[in-house]
Copies of this chain bind each other. A is one copy, B any other.
Amino acid sequence: MATARAYTNIALIKYWGKQDPQQMLPYNSSLSLTLDQFYTETKVEFLPKQTNQTADSFVFAGVAQPVSPKITRMLNLIRQAAGWSNFARVETENHVPTSAGLASSASAFAALAAAGAQAAGLQLSPRELSIFARHGSGSACRSIFGGFVVWHAGHDDQSSYAEPLLATVDFPIVVIAVLVDQRPKKVLSSAGMQQSVATSPFYPAWVQTAESGIATMSQAIAAHDIARIGQLAEANAMQMHATTLSAVPPFTYFAPMTLKIWQLVQEFRTKGLSCYITLDAGPNPKLLCAKQDAAAVVKKLQAALPQLQCTICQPGPGVAYRD
């Protein structure tokens, strides 16, 4: 039995498109910042063979739920590595401000992989653990680590892994998660990726540009240049969204309010605030700010749009275990 906690992450250079959906290999490398405001805590227990449990079980927030194929797949990978066939009992809870609008699959599968591997007695390096987590959800591999993290696209299972770029949480950058819409996405990220890959004539250029963005972003992080990090992240996010706008038929994850917030962010910059926008496969923007500007940004944003809920996140840690 083992319990692990993993935090969500926000990609500054986005993962968008699988070159191998079976192995969860992405077309391009990505780069993220782990955040401190939203984590998943998961307990995994492999049951003795003599119990009368005849399947895996899954309890979410105290309520029994069906075991999803992705959970089964992760447990099978772990059992295979351990040479076991025992059924598992998985209990998980998300710790998230209701206003965050942050995805949970990254923290969920990072915590499941970590707790499962630990419970099975596997002695995995963090890199190996990131490979396991990747099979649950691509971005989960990055949540194994804290701070700034790179996921190398790779070309096969073992070469597609995450590693820390700058594993500090002591970095004066803040991510303001803005909640625009709590409803489930209309186009799930895996379907959206697939449509961009299959139909956008701009997709090959996206892969090249994102891949070369890793080095540029790494330099900006090494230089602690927050404005540059923000510029690069905003450009990369919009390029990702340009692969949906250029798909056939075109689609977008932007809501009208998303655009309104982007307009405000651009306006804040003209007033000297270091503030940039990024967003993933949904309408909820995340604002990247210099730590000293975060309070002013939230104040201005809520003055313009009082209904918005904002969660201020700081760099978060990697996977941790609990007794």
A296 beta carbon closer than 8 Å to chain B:
no
Contact (Cβ within 8 A) A202 B256: no
Check: A260 CB closer than 8 A to any chain B CB.
yes
Residues of B within 8 A of A205 (CB): 201-202, 204-205
A249 at the interface (CB under 8 A from B): yes
Please measure, in the bound complex, the distance between the C-alpha atom of A247 and the C-alpha atom of B241, giving whole angstroms.
12
Which residues of chain B are near A302, meaning CB under 8 Å? none
Q: Would you call A231 and B245 a contact (CB within 8 A)?
A: no
C-alpha spacing A248/B205, complex, angstroms: 14
Bound complex: CA of A255 vs CA of B241, how far in Å? 16
With A206-B202, A209-B201, A242-B245 already in contact, the answer to whether A235 and B250 are too (CB < 8 A) is yes
With a cutoff of 8 Å between Cβ atoms, the chain B residues found around residue A256 in the complex are: 256-257, 259-260, 263
Q: With CB as the reference atom, state the residue of chain B lying closest to A237.
A: B250
Given A201-B205, A202-B206, A205-B201; A246-B242 close (CB under 8 Å): yes
Q: Enumerate chain B residues within 8 angstroms of A246, measured Cβ to Cβ.
A: 202, 238-239, 242
Q: Which of B208, B250, B255 contacts A201 (CB 8 A)?
A: B208
Most buried by B among A202, A204, A208, A241: A202
Interface centre among A204, A206, A234, A246 (most CB of B within 10 A): A246
Is A254 close to B, CB under 8 A?
yes
Instruction: State the CA gap A245–B235 with chains docked (Å).
Output: 8
> Which residue from chain B places its CB closest to the CB of A202 in the assembled complex?
B202
A194 within 8 A of B: no
* Closest partner residue, chain B, to A259 (CB atom): B256
CB of A288 to closest CB in B, whole Å: 14
Residue pair B255, A259 in contact (C-beta under 8 Å)? yes
Q: Is the CB of A202 within 8 A of B242?
A: yes
Which A residues lie at the B interface, using CB under 8 A? 201-202, 204-206, 208-209, 231, 234-235, 238-239, 241-243, 245-246, 248-250, 252, 254-257, 259-260, 262-263
Flag if A235 contacts B252 (CB, 8 Å). Answer: no
Q: Which of A205, A242, A257, A262 has the most CB of B within 10 A?
A: A242
Of B234, B241, B250, B255, the contact of A234 (CB 8 Å cutoff): B250
- Complex CA distance for A223 and B241, rounded to whole angstroms: 33
Tell me if B235 and A248 are in contact (CB < 8 A): yes
Which residue on B lies nearest to A255, using beta carbons?
A: B259
Max chain B Cβ within 10 angstroms of own Cβ: one of A245, A248, A254: A245
Give the CA-CA distance A260 to B256 in the complex, in Å.
6
Inter-chain contact A250/B245, CB cutoff 8 Å:
no
Is the Cβ of B239 less than 8 Å from the Cβ of A250? yes
Provide the residues of chain B in CB contact with A254, threshold 8 Å: 254, 259
CA distance A239 to B257 in the complex (A): 22
Which residues from chain B contact A252 at a C-beta distance below 8 Å? 259, 262
Closest Cβ of chain B to A195, distance in Å, is 12
Please report the C-alpha to C-alpha distance between residue A243 and residue B256 in the assembled complex, in whole angstroms: 20
A201 vs B256: C-alpha distance when bound (angstroms)? 26
